[in-house]
């Protein structure tokens, strides 16, 4: 169950902080070169220990998504969004597309029919910029 700041008790806090910042980078909410909240700002916002917030920031720094600028803070690294989206596409393919294709083959659904099923399902969704499917 999420607490007041919206954090999940089942996942380490530092990992949640890192994931939330990564989501903002992937979504374009934090642009390359933009300053990210400091360890103290994150700690105050989420009401957590500053060391926990620092651990989340360091996770992203270690992954090359953030860079430290001595004396002025942490910033989104060049190419961070592109790298995040590439990682997420790979994860999406492994978790969703490959099992979908495998099950379709088991059921005798060919590529054309599968493509049409996906298109029909996508068109049935409410259209938002994130769910729009190219024709």
The CATH number assigned to the domain holding 55 equals 1.10.10.10
Q: Does 44 share its domain with 100?
A: no
Q: Does 110 share its domain with 87?
A: yes
Q: What is the pLDDT, as a whole number, of residue 131? A: 46
Rounded Cα gap, residues 12 and 94, in angstroms: 24
Q: Is 1 part of any domain?
A: no
Q: Does 71 share its domain with 100?
A: no
Q: Is 66 part of any domain?
A: yes
Q: Does 46 share its domain with 98?
A: no
Q: Does 21 share its domain with 65?
A: yes
Helix (H) or strand (E) holding 50: helix 50-62
Q: Does 46 share its domain with 99?
A: no
Q: What is the pLDDT, as a whole number, of residue 10? A: 82
Q: Is 4 part of any domain?
A: no
Q: What is the pLDDT, as a whole number, of residue 4? A: 41
Q: Is 133 part of any domain?
A: no
Local structure of residue 30 (DSSP, 8 states)? S
**Given the structure tokens 């990564």, which residue do they identify?**
22
Q: What is the pLDDT, as a whole number, of residue 33? A: 97
Q: Does 85 share its domain with 68?
A: no
pLDDT in tens, the chain (135 residues): 344 456 667 889 999 999 999 999 999 999 999 999 999 999 999 999 999 999 999 999 999 999 999 999 999 999 999 999 999 999 999 999 999 999 999 999 999 999 999 999 989 888 665 544 444
SS3 of 75, please?
Answer: strand
Q: Does 17 share its domain with 61?
A: yes
Range of the domain at 105: 81-124
């Amino acid at each position: 169950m999420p607490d007041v700041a919206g954090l999940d008790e089942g996942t380490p806090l530092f990992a949640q902080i890192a994931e939330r910042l990564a989501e903002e980078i992937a979504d374009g909410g934090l642009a390359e070169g933009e300053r990210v909240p400091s360890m103290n700002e994150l700690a105050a916002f989420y009401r957590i220990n500053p060391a926990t917030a620092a651990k989340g920031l360091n996770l992203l720094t270690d992954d090359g998504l953030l860079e430290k600028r001595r004396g002025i803070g942490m910033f989104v690294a060049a190419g961070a969004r592109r790298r995040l989206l590439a990682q997420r596409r790979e994860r999406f393919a492994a978790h969703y597309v490959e099992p979908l294709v495998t099950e379709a083959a088991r059921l005798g659904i060919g590529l054309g029919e599968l493509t049409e099923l996906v298109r029909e399902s996508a068109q049935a969704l409410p259209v938002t910029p994130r769910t729009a499917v190219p024709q």
